[in-house]
Structure 1
Amino acid sequence: MKMSDVAKLANVSPATVSRVLCHPELVSKETKQKVMDVINEVNYKPHAVARQFRTKATKIILVVVPDITSAFFSEVLRGIEHVAVSSGYQVILGDTENNIEREAEYINLLYQKQADGMILLTARLDKYKLEALSEQYPLVLACEYIDGLNVPTVSIDNISSARKATEHLIQLGHTRIAHITGPINIVLSRDRLRGYKQAMISHDLEIDSAYIQEGDQTFESGYNQMLKLLALELPPTAIFVFNDDMAMGVTKAVKDCHLKVPEDIAVVGFDYIKMSSIHEPSLTTVAQPKYEMGKQAMELLLKQISGEPLHKKKIVMKDELIIGESCGSKINVIKSLERI
């Protein structure tokens, strides 16, 4: 069934059928109803490729993530999907598996005009390449970002968030506070490390390089890096961890060493994934507004696609420190400090 067949059955021109499908506001109510009755009766489906040739639009959005197995991204993707679908777009997902070459390959799809725009949840490429891309095609960065990059971005302030998490441990009486970073080549890892250091310096606490270990964002690396910290002659009494996955690995390592969280080691994570509240003990962690970040990113992209001016390119969303059971009360922590 072709558009011309629908036009004959509805006794209108093919151009009218096209307007009903693409710009119904330009067609009278009676004509639109007549055409839609025929479309529904014969179950006509517009040919996607042919429509792309006519409109020069794919109605497809490409979303690139660094690691699809990470629980963090599921809510971000849901926010993107809900806005996209309600606006008539389909979302195609690309998983780079933290491989910068894969990220470049997905970006080539935009150059090949196989999508109308792209949301990058990873930003490992050279900033000048991304700026050149954004000058030609709609592009939004979400969650990750690049300093000084003039591209629409949705994120939180990772430096202040990490500072807040570390200061929570300091306020509980801790002075020997460790930090397990994410991969240090990622801006989020560097910014959260910076926030940790700022908190320590502002409270005149020593920053011991042995207390800073680099992880790879996985449960296993949190476990392994915590074993290294516990093997130190003077182990930390508290630890701020790059993400919740690694923080849960940390609590497992503590238990396997016959210690307790929070009685012996206080733990703070980051991201507030679903498992962090189910985990025992429940994690104290920094919550990012993941769903809203996805929605805002998609809305920014749609404005670019439609040619609307962007009054604000950098959207910094609010985070929240969620107090769980993994840090304990101040009294219990101080007693623990006296025992270690």
Structure 2
Amino acid sequence: MVRERVTMADVARAAGVSSATVSYVLSGKRPVAPETRAVVEAAIEELSFTVNVTARSLRTGRSSLVALIVPDIANPFFAQLAATLQEQLRGLGLHVVVCGTGARRDEERALLAEAVHQRFAGVVITPFRLKQQDFKPLVDAGMPVVISADVSFGPIDLVTPDARVATRRALERVSTSQRRRIAMIAGPRDATGGDPRLEHLRALAMQFGMSLPHELVVRGEHTREAGAAGFGALMSRRYPPDAVFCGNDVIAVGAMDKAHELGVDIPGDVALIGHDDASFASLVRPRLTTIRYPAAEVGRSAAQLLIERLNGRQAPKTVHVMAEFVARSSV
């Protein structure tokens, strides 16, 4: 027996309000009393109401495709994000198209333009070199957009990490191993929004009596090759570091490559800390200590925000996903 789709009228009956009131709660177009909003939202959750994507496509002329735009398809973090997003949206008749940009601004802009041209149902994106104004054509077209990033891009839905506690725990672990001179292999200087991970690390390091001097910050793309080059540069300093933080786990593996080549022992000579906890982090040797930013939770949060937009919500929303320190054998 096929279960009938729950309609807005069903929600209205369950909540004891009009269909118009349900519509106002979903869209935010008109104010609704907090008590009434709470009753409607409870009915929506109880009935598992979601937008009828097929009907919406016919009404709006939009396709059932959602673009997931990421800098690096080969990075396992983005592979997990894609798998989770697809799993969450498939039951709604939405299909995810994964697009890699190579972290190039021209490719990012071209893919956004194509999403508008093809009238996609929505876009989930991890921007690397885009600016806030680059999203204006999508906003003007009324296209739902969810950004996964460390920084805000204005009044657009955002999924963002909260890594303050995790970074503090990483520094505590480094501190207990009697290391004081830390370094970071960070992202490129022209990446959107700077590098909040570097800024958080520098601010917290001072509280532990550690230094993060400018000469011990090297920059490059979020690649294995950049990690190797960055680690080599750090080890050539007159006073090299005894702990190296990396912008992501891919960079950290590149740093391990170079350490092996140079005969630098990890963690004996230098502690190494990654970021993201990609699937390979526990497989490399030594096993990588890292800050876990759960890709699956990011995917679920992005899917929920997108669904809410498709259901009519208009006010922008931010979801903070907690990061977690994962201690392994590279510190």
Q: CA deviation at 1:172?
A: 2.4
1:39 paired residue number? none
Contact 1:131/1:149, CA 8 A, preserved across alignment: no
Contact 1:271/1:288, CA 8 A, preserved across alignment: yes
Pick aligned residue for 2:294 from 276, 280, 289 = 289
After TM superposition, the runs of 4+ consecutive aligned structure 1 residues lying more than 6 A away are 23-26
Q: Distance in 2 between matches of 1:187 and 1:195?
A: 16
Which SS does the other structure have where 1:292 is aligned?
helix
Q: How many residue pairs end up in the alignment?
A: 282
Q: Distance in 2 between matches of 1:188 and 1:276?
A: 26
2:248 paired residue number? 243
Establish whether residue 73 from structure 1 lines up as the match of residue 73 from structure 2: no
2:321 paired residue number? 317
The worse-fitting range, judged by mean Cα deviation, of 53-62 and 316-325 is 53-62
Greater Rg, structure 1 or structure 2?
Answer: 1
Q: CA deviation at 1:188?
A: 7.1
The alignment's TM-score, normalised by the length of structure 2, stands at 0.77
Pick aligned residue for 1:141 from 141, 147, 150 = 147
Larger relative helix fraction: 1
Q: CA deviation at 1:164?
A: 4.1
Alignment deviations for residues 278-319 of structure 1 (CA, whole Å, 9 cap, x no partner): 100101001111111111101111111121466x71100111
Pick aligned residue for 1:177 from 167, 182, 190 = 182
Which SS does the other structure have where 1:223 is aligned?
helix
Q: Distance in 1 between matches of 2:95 and 2:210?
A: 51
Contact 2:165/2:324, CA 8 A, preserved across alignment: no
CA 1:105 to 1:148, structure 2 compared with 1: closer, same or farther past 3 Å?
closer
Contact 1:123/1:141, CA 8 A, preserved across alignment: no
Contact 1:158/1:191, CA 8 A, preserved across alignment: no
Which SS does the other structure have where 1:155 is aligned?
strand
Q: Distance in 1 between matches of 2:156 and 2:59?
A: 29
Q: Distance in 1 between matches of 2:320 and 2:128?
A: 16
Can you give the 5+ residue segments of structure 2 that lack an aligned partner in the other structure? 8-53
Aligned pairs for 1:217-256 (under 5 A) are 217-256=222-261
2:36 paired residue number? none
Q: CA deviation at 1:110?
A: 3.3
Q: CA deviation at 1:200?
A: 2.2
Aligned pairs for 1:32-71 (under 5 A) are 56-71=61-76
Which SS does the other structure have where 2:114 is aligned?
helix
Aligned pairs for 1:320-331 (under 5 A) are 320-327=324-331
2:31 paired residue number? none
The alignment's TM-score, normalised by the length of structure 1, stands at 0.75
CA 1:245 to 1:188, structure 2 compared with 1: closer, same or farther past 3 Å?
farther
Contact 2:286/2:330, CA 8 A, preserved across alignment: yes
RMSD: 2.7
Q: CA deviation at 1:129?
A: 3.5
